[in-house]
């Protein structure tokens, strides 16, 4: 089910009514850079199969709220020529998304889609960074699991002479 929670476009996944699944627990799910809430469908489905309510949220500047100048701001050329400025734009979106998590939690609790002590967060890549930042902003989150996807290959230290 597609909806808006505290102004953020979101996609709910559960095998039961959201109010029933939320009794087991609610997990906020954040996609990676450049993606949207339709991503991580397998993860949301696995959480729903385990009885949870999974809520995939569009990161600020992504998906249904994609920046109108996205292609210019995050072009490969700009990354190479103005990496510091482009990274600042990236961090602005990350911080804005993490900052809205308390309002999202407030609304979820108010409508019965989340319960104190039964709220988690997860994300991949940029979504993982948002998850880390959100835990600092929102004490009602009781569990966080993040997946990091490096932009550059990570060398195996065993391959170093």
CATH code where residue 22 lies? 3.40.50.1820
Domains contained in the chain, number: 1
Question: How many Å apart are CA 72 and CA 3, to the nearest integer?
Answer: 29
Q: Name the residue range of residue 145's domain.
A: 2-66+95-149
Entry pTM: 0.89
Is 127 contained in some domain? yes
Q: How many residues does the chain have?
A: 161
| pLDDT exceeds 80 at position 157 | no
Residues 4-15: tens digit of each pLDDT: 999 999 999 999
In the chain, the percentage of residues whose pLDDT exceeds 70 is 91
Measure the CA–CA gap between 32 and 129, rounded to whole angstroms. 9
Mean pLDDT score across all residues of the chain: 91
What pLDDT does residue 86 have?
87
Per-residue pLDDT at 115 exceeds 80: yes
Q: How far is CA 92 from the centre of its chain?
A: 15
Tell whether 155 is covered by a domain: no
């Amino acid at each position: 089910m597609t909806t808006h929670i505290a102004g953020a476009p979101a996609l709910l996944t559960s095998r039961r009514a959201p109010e029933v699944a939320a009794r087991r627990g609610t997990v906020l799910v954040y996609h990676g850079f450049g993606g949207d809430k339709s991503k991580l469908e397998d993860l949301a489905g696995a959480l729903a199969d385990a009885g949870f309510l999974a809520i995939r949220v569009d990161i600020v500047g992504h998906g249904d709220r994609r920046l109108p100048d996205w292609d210019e701001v995050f072009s490969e050329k700009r990354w190479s020529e103005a990496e510091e400025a482009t990274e600042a734009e990236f961090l602005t979106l990350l911080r804005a998304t993490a900052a809205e998590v308390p309002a999202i939690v407030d609304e979820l609790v108010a409508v019965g889609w989340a319960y104190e002590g039964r709220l988690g967060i997860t994300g991949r890549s940029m979504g993982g960074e948002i998850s880390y930042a959100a835990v600092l902003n929102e004490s009602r989150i009781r569990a966080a699991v993040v997946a990091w996807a490096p932009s550059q290959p990570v060398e195996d230290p065993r391959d170093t002479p």
